[in-house]
Copies of this chain bind each other. A is one copy, B any other.
Amino acid sequence: MQQCDTLILPGWCIPVEPDGLVLTDHAVAVDDGRIVAILPADAARSSLRPGRVISRPNHVLIPGLINAHTHAAMSLLRGIGDDLPLERWLRERIWPAEKRWVSAEMVRDGTRHAIAEMLLAGTTCFSDQYFFPEIVAETASEMHVRAMIGTPVIDFPTAWAANASECLAKGAELVHDRFAEHALISSCFAPHSAGTLSDDAFSELRIMADQLDVRVQIHLHESQQEIRESIAATGLRPLARLAKLGLVNSSLLVVHGVYLDRDEISQLAAARVSVAHCPRSNLKLADGIAPVARYLSGGVNVALGTDGAASNNALDLLDEMKTAALLAKVSESDARTLPAAAALRMATLGGATALGLAEATGSIENGKWADLTCIDMQHFRTQPIYDAISQLVYSASSRQVSDVWIAGRHLVENGTLTQIDGDEILRRTNEWQQRIASHAGE
């Protein structure tokens, strides 16, 4: 009898790899934080001696969901500027609020709130892009959540750094070096968008990213206006400008990518660039609908992101998955487009690939970290079950998430945070709400 820490017995196990597979009467064994076996339940009972058996007969077990793009600390700004277009939303609401309120303390509290929200919604890994990335990294590490921490690269003074060079240096030192050996934390550079950096700053960024072997995530081709402004300023569409500067390679993560033409899709596929699709944010800011089915058929890896809570307004990958599948159908005028299994893949293995973590997470496979999410299907909205993947994608709500494990640690159980004081986080959020609301409209 082989020992293992935990044996999970779900009603349905959807490993994501191989694509579309649904296992029933199977067990997943976890030891020392990793998946060590996926086997028939009977075989598991006779061959394994688990420290704990977790029976979830009405539940679907999936790889932990991966949020490929967010600004976690913006949870504290959720709802301050709704029903406004992107440019006005940024210039009139978000940037002034950030100028006034962003601090290490705000980033810590906002990130804690976002992580609690994401965990309860089944997310085990997120890619972040915000000020004070070292605080985001510390917070994710303390809360035992997997994260790729994006260092913002901005060429004007902010609360965090004076210019792009200082951003890069701080990112390398405070985020990359300090967390280099961390099992959960990785880092990347995250310039806001192509228009915010000079060619020189991008060149400096490219050199640094190559040296450290880290990814670059950037909001790109999010709106028609962004593309028009780039052409007016540089003669090039943003992606072409990045290509000229040597940044279009397998380390690039294009966030949004709402507008990519046929040649650009080929270019991204050839360079093995991933796109982080943020469908609800794109709708809410009226950016458009990214034709992600074409990206997939063109060979581009697509991940899913929530974007920040201020433009979504929730950090809920189940919602994004459903929205992505529904939008793909209507934008291709074909209900067969992006079937349920493809949407689930985007939210899991697609995300892991985009973040360079496909060896570590994103599917239920032997040897990967045990980043797992369990969803209780015994609710009216998810019964009856004819097809577990379909029911998960089209019907399940994040409030049905019962359990979440990250690297084997059981962080959510019975829909409740096991190791985090949620009330304390909400108390701090309420303090921020009072501070920020008292200055609204100034």
Contacts and interface: CB of A to CB of B under 8 A. Distances in A.
Q: Which of A78, A116, A334 has the most CB of B within 10 A?
A: A78
A388 to B, nearest CB: 9
Given A312-B394, A390-B82, A391-B78, A385 B326 contact: no
B394 A335 contact: no
A314 to B, nearest CB: 4
Given A113-B383, A283-B326, A335-B284, A313 B397 contact: no
A437 interface: yes
A395 B308 CA distance: 12
Contacts of A79: 384-387, 390-391, 394-395
A397 B309 CA distance: 14
Copies in the complex: 2
A435 to B, nearest CB: 10
Interface string A82-121: 1111100100000000000000000000000100110011
Q: Which of A79, A286, A337, A386 has the most CB of B within 10 A?
A: A79
Interface stretch (A129-137, A179-187, A424-432): A424-432
Nearest to A80: B386
A145 to B, nearest CB: 14
Nearest to A400: B399
A335 B86 contact: yes
Given A84-B336, A316-B397, 9 more contacts: A78-B383, A79-B385, A83-B390, A282-B330, A289-B330, A309-B395, A313-B390, A314-B395, A384-B432
A280 interface: yes
Contact of A340 (B82, B315, B387, B437): B82
A89 B334 CA distance: 12
Interface residues of A, number: 70
A286 B337 contact: yes
Interface string A50-84: 00000000000000000000000001101110111
Nearest to A121: B381
Given A288-B330, A384-B433, A395 B336 contact: no
A120 to B, nearest CB: 6
Contact of A437 (B84, B383, B386, B398): B386
A391 B429 CA distance: 15
